[in-house]
């Protein structure tokens, strides 16, 4: 059936195993078109997937997946992989409640042997599979595909360092597109670039090609393959070979004719782990992506023809923009302020800061552990480092926060963006835990902004704290549209505020749940129940005087936070219990995120806020008071 699209005939990788190179090339073209069309209707990560279309086809053609293990690092590039592995019919449910995850996910398919989303985990996981197979006497291959950006994280080196002593079954595909989200940084990136552009590589390429072109056709391919090999030997990935790997490359990751035989040869190497250095282009094959600075790393829904994205317009600035703008204002006044990002300049708003203060901005790559201790070093030597790391990615550097910052009481300022639920990225990216893990640390000042004006004040407050660490959390997305002062005044540390006076119920909100808490008070008032609304502002130190007064003067206390169990509500309970404030029978409810991971399987909290809206707050108060909410409380 020559005109039937090959993609219609491929439901699983096994269907490609009889294909020849031209068919594989055609399949890749169709897969690229399908990926573009699908993502245009869902939004999501585009550039990375487009860059690995040929690689995806070749890997599934050469390796016997799912028996052979294929692990994608980060997993944001896995959409073509999902289309080829039995999920084409669901690819347009991507990143939606009940739909496919935007990353690889074990529960979704046997072709996803390991989940991802946080970078640089693939080689460690792959080594685990290798060791398990060695233990079981199984000889299947294990393949980890890791990007050049993800190779900047320490975890990748920990695994590379351990590989040659652990297994001979591992194939690492280094997907080098010379991009992270932003252009890559660091020595490894420079080393890889040298491998690809080095004189020996170019000469050999010319030499190899010139020989190949003068040979009769049947021998031409063999010579070309020899050239690829030769280049690997001459240019050599010395660094990787010193770690015990057989280095092959650099190889053109879009040239199916070379890619397939080289992967077959890599699969046949059994005396040591192999690393195949594949050179690809992020955004390959879609002009709007190829011409975009970030290669359309992440996109909203878009028009395929024009590439025009349909982004929602808001009249309030994003919290990220407020952070970037405020920090610039402060840095003009204080030359000791420096900023650190871990490969997320645009996501954190430090791209703006970097334009204003290039010499005072550090992008350390995907290296959160290093970012934190690097910031600690800066603080120890008198600078004011602002370490801007998403709440979820700060988890990667937590020991460094404890060991290098908090124990030494160094004044590192942590700007924790994407705190709380983040929507489509799901559980791996939700900033659910920072209240608990940062609030547990002695000496930490932990703030949560209720709106963008509060964020500006908390930045000012943090910059004034020179004797201990401080952190301020704020959500993904736009503010509420409140006025931001030209230069916000710092807050009094450990002081909350009463926003609305009432008598029976006290709603104690932390962070951006304040708006819903005020709506809940209105709903309660409509039911004849008077409510006070307080904004805690600090999860640490707590405003003990205010909280104890609320407990004394009200029949019922409700705490609300967009964070997991073991956070603000727990801290308040421990304060009240410690002071005997519960002995008099105070009715108390602590509202926090449900004790589940929020993702496509548990969409309850992916988009809503997990039972933390006005009707939930009001219903909790009525339930505590024993007033049956005869009908759902409409805020």
Ligand X SMILES: CC(=O)[C@@H](O)[C@H](O)COP(=O)(O)O
Q: Which of residues 131-150 bind ligand TPP (CB under 6 A)?
A: 147-150
H/E stretch holding 219 reads helix 217-235
Q: Token pair 């050179």 is at which residue?
A: 279
284, 396, 513, 587: which is the annotated catalytic residue?
396
Omega before residue 541 within 30° of 0, cis:
yes
In the sheet with 587-591, reading across from the earlier edge strand, the strands are 497-500, 531-535, 505-509, 556-560, 587-591
Three-state helix/strand/coil letters over 538-582: EEECCCHHHHHHHHHHCCEEEEECCCCCCCHHHHHHHHHHHCCCC
Quick one: 263 or 327, whose CB is closer to ligand X? 327
In the region spanning residues 128 to 167, those forming contacts with Mg ion, defined by CB under 5 A, are 147-149
User: By rule CB under 6 A, what count of residues binds ligand X?
Assistant: 10
Catalytic residue status for 301: no
Token pair belonging to 118: 């946080």
Among 123, 145, 159, 298, binds ligand X (CB under 6 A): 298
Q: Which residue, chain included where needed, has tokens 């302020």? A: 337
Task: Kindly give, in sequence order, each residue whose CB lies less than 8 Å from that of residue 381, ignoring residues fewer than 6 positions away.
Answer: none
Is 76 annotated to bind ligand?
yes
Site for ligand X in 438-477 (CB under 6 A): 476
Letters for 56-95 (x = contact with ligand X by CB under 6 A, - = none) are ------------------x-x-------------------
Cα gap 85→82, rounded to integer Å = 5
Pick the binder of ligand X from 46, 160, 422, 508 (CB under 6 A): 422
Distances (CA, A) of 278 to 146, 147, 274: 10, 10, 12
Helix (H, G, I), strand (E, B) or coil at 590: strand
Binding test (CB under 6 A) with ligand TPP, winner from 70, 78, 119, 564: 119
Tell me the site size for ligand TPP, rule CB under 6 A: 25
Per CB under 6 A, the list member of 36, 127, 170, 181 interacting with ligand TPP is: 181
Is residue 81 a contact residue for ligand TPP (CB under 6 A)?
Answer: no
Q: Which residues of 613-633 are buried (b: 16+ CB within 10 A; e: fewer)?
A: bbbbbbbbbbebbeeeeeeeb
x-marked contacts with Mg ion along 162-201 as a string, rule CB under 5 A: ---------------x-x----------------------
Stretch that binds ligand X, among 129-137, 262-270, 334-342, 422-430 (CB under 6 A): 422-430
d(CA 149, CA 163): 20
Residue 368 among the catalytic residues: yes
In whole angstroms, what is the distance from residue 65 CA to residue 92 CA?
Answer: 23
From residue 580, give the alpha-carbon distance in Å to each of 366, 571, 573, 575. Answer: 46, 14, 10, 9
Q: Which is nearer to ligand X, 87 or 418 (CB)?
A: 418
In the residue annotation, 615 being an active-site residue is answered as no
Give the residue closest to ligand TPP by C-beta: 147
Stretch that binds ligand X, among 141-149, 417-425, 584-592, 601-609 (CB under 6 A): 417-425
Catalytic residue among 87, 105, 282, 468: 282
Which residues are known catalytic residues? 282, 368, 396
Instruction: Give the footprint of ligand TPP on this chain (CB under 6 A).
Output: 48, 51, 74, 76-77, 117-119, 147-150, 175, 177, 179-181, 282, 342-344, 366, 368, 393, 396
């Amino acid at each position: 059936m020559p005109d039937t699209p090959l993609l219609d005939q491929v439901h699983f990788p096994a269907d490609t195993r009889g294909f020849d190179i031209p068919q594989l090339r055609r399949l890749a073209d169709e897969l690229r078109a399908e990926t573009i069309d699908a993502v245009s209707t869902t939004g999501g990560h585009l550039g990375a997937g487009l860059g690995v279309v040929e690689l995806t086809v070749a890997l599934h053609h050469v390796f016997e997946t799912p028996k052979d293990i294929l692990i994608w690092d980060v997993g944001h590039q896995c959409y073509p992989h999902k289309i080829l592995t039995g999920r084409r019919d669901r690819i347009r449910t991507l990143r939606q409640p009940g739909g496919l995850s935007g990353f690889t996910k074990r529960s979704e398919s046997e072709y996803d042997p390991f989940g991802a989303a946080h970078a640089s985990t693939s080689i460690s996981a792959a080594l685990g599979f290798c060791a398990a197979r060695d233990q079981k006497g199984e000889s299947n291959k294990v393949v980890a595909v890791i990007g050049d950006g993800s190779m900047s994280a320490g975890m990748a080196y920990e695994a590379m360092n351990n590989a040659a002593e652990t297994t001979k079954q591992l194939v690492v595909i280094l997907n080098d597109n010379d991009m992270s989200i932003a252009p890559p940084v660091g020595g490894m990136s420079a080393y890889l670039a040298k491998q690809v552009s080095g004189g020996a590589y170019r000469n050999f390429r010319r030499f190899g090609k010139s020989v190949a072109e003068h040979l009769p056709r049947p021998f031409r391919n063999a010579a070309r393959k020899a050239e690829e090999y030769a280049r690997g030997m001459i240019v050599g990935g010395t660094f990787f070979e010193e770690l015990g790997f057989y280095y092959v490359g650099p190889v053109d990751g879009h040239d199916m004719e070379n890619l397939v035989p080289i992967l077959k040869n890599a699969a046949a190497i059994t005396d040591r782990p192999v690393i195949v250095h594949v050179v690809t282009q992020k955004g390959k094959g879609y002009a709007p992506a190829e011409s975009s600075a970030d290669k359309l790393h992440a996109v909203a829904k878009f028009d395929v023809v024009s590439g025009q994205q349909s982004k929602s317009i808001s009249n309030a600035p994003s919290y990220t923009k407020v952070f970037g703008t405020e920090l610039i204002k402060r840095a003009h006044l204080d030359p000791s302020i420096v900023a650190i990002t871990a490969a997320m300049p645009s996501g954190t708003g430090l791209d703006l800061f970097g334009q204003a203060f290039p010499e005072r901005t550090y992008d350390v790559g995907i290296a959160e552990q290093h970012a934190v201790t690097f910031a600690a070093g800066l603080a120890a030597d008198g600078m004011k480092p602002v370490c801007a790391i998403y709440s979820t990615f700060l988890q990667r550097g937590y020991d460094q926060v404890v060991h290098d910052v908090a124990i030494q009481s160094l004044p590192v300022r942590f700007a924790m963006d994407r705190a709380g639920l983040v929507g489509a990225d799901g559980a791996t990216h939700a900033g659910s835990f920072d209240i608990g893990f940062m609030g547990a640390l002695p000496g930490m000042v932990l703030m949560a902004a209720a709106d963008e004006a509060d964020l500006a004040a908390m930045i000012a407050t943090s910059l004034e704290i020179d004797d201990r660490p401080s952190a301020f959390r704020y959500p993904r997305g736009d503010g509420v549209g409140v006025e931001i002062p030209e230069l916000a005044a710092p807050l009094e540390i450990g002081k909350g505020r009463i926003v609305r006076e009432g008598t029976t119920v006290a709603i104690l909100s932390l962070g951006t749940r304040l708006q819903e808490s005020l709506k809940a008070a209105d709903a309660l008032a409509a039911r004849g129940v008077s409510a006070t609304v307080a904004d805690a502002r600090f999860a640490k130190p707590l405003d003990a005087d205010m909280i104890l007064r609320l407990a004394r003067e009200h029949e019922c206390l409700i705490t609300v936070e967009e964070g997991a169990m073991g956070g603000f509500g727990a801290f308040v309970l421990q304060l009240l219990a410690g002071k005997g404030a519960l002995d008099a029978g105070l009715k108390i409810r602590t509202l926090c995120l449900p004790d589940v991971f929020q993702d496509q399987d548990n969409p309850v909290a992916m988009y809503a806020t997990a039972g933390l809206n006005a009707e939930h707050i009001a219903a909790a108060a009525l339930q505590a008071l024993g007033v049956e909410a005869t009908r759902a409380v409409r805020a």
